[in-house]
A and B are shown apart, each in its own frame.
Chain A
Amino acid sequence: MSARETVLGGLRRSLKRQPGDGAEAAVEARLRSRVRGTVPQRGQLSGEALLQLFVNQAEGVNATVTRVASSDDVPGAVADYLRQSNLPLQARLAPHPDLQALPWAEKVPMLELSEGRAAPEDRVSVTPAFAAVAETGTLVLHSGPQTPTTLNFLPETHVVVLRAGQVAGAYEEVWDRLREVYDGTMPRTVNMITGPSRTGDIEQKLELGAHGPRRLHIVLVEDGTEPA
Chain B
Amino acid sequence: MQATSHAFKDNAHRALQDTELQRAMGHVRSGFIDKRQQAADRLPEFEQLRDEAKAIKDHTLAHLDLYLERYEAKVTENGGKVHWCANAEEARQAVLRICRSLNARTATKGKSMISEEIALNDFLSEQGIEPVETDLGEYIIQIRNEPPSHIIAPAVHVTKEQVESDFRRVHGHLSPERPLSEPTQLVDEARQVLRQRYLDADVGITGANFLIAETGTSVIVTNEGNGDLTQTLPKAHIVIASLEKVVPTLEDCSTILRVLARSATGQEFSSYTTFSTGPRRADDPDGPGEYHVILLDNGRSSMLGTEFQDMLRCIRCGACMNHCPVYHAVGGHSYGWVYPGPMGAVLTPSLIGVHEAGHLPNASTFCGRCEAVCPMRIPLPKMMRHWREREFEQHQTPPKARIGIEAWAFLAKRPRLYRWATSLGVRFLGRAGRKRGRFSNLPLAGGWTAHREMPAPAGRSFQALWAERQQRSGGAP
Contacts and interface: CB of A to CB of B under 8 A. Distances in A.
A203 B160 contact: yes
Nearest to B288: A188
A34 B62 CA distance: 18
Contacts of B233: 150
Contact of B275 (A40, A189, A203): A189
Interface in A99-118: 116-118
B283 interface: yes
B70 interface: yes
B45 A191 contact: no
A149 B252 contact: no
A24 interface: yes
A204 B27 contact: yes
Contact of A153 (B31, B136, B225, B267): B225
A202 B287 contact: no
A42 B43 contact: yes
Contacts of A2: 84
Given A14-B305, A194-B269, A209-B191, A188 B183 contact: no
Given A7-B84, A37-B252, A31 B271 contact: no
Given A37-B252, A149-B232, A189-B274, A11 B64 contact: yes
Interface stretch (B203-211, B243-251, B373-381): B243-251
Majority SS at the chain A contact face? loop
B223 A210 contact: yes
B67 interface: yes
A154 B225 CA distance: 9
A91 B3 CA distance: 51
B255 A38 contact: yes
Interface string A3-25: 11011101110111100000110
Interface stretch (A79-87, A136-144, A217-225): A136-144
Contact of B84 (A4, A27, A187): A4
B415 interface: no
A198 interface: yes
B304 A197 contact: no
A86 B136 CA distance: 27
A212 interface: yes
Interface string B202-235: 0000000000011111000001111011001100
Contacts of B135: 201
B284 A188 contact: yes
B183 A145 contact: no
Interface string B312-345: 0000000000000000000000000000000000
Given A7-B243, A12-B65, A40-B43, A186 B268 contact: no
Interface string B147-165: 0000001111011100100
Interface in B1-56: 24, 27-28, 31-32, 43-45, 48-49, 52-53, 56
A168 to B, nearest CB: 12
B279 interface: yes
A203 B183 contact: yes
11 contacts: A10-B302, A27-B70, A30-B248, A31-B248, A117-B286, A148-B286, A194-B269, A197-B225, A201-B224, A210-B191, A212-B229
Given A7-B295, A185-B215, A186-B217, 8 more contacts: A3-B83, A11-B243, A61-B269, A145-B285, A195-B271, A201-B154, A207-B184, A210-B190
Interface of B: 24, 27-28, 31-32, 43-45, 48-49, 52-53, 56, 59, 62-70, 78, 83-86, 90, 134-137, 140, 153-156, 158-160, 163, 183-184, 186-188, 190-191, 194-195, 198-199, 213-217, 223-226, 228-229, 232-233, 243, 248-252, 254-255, 257-258, 265, 267-281, 283-287, 295, 297, 301-306
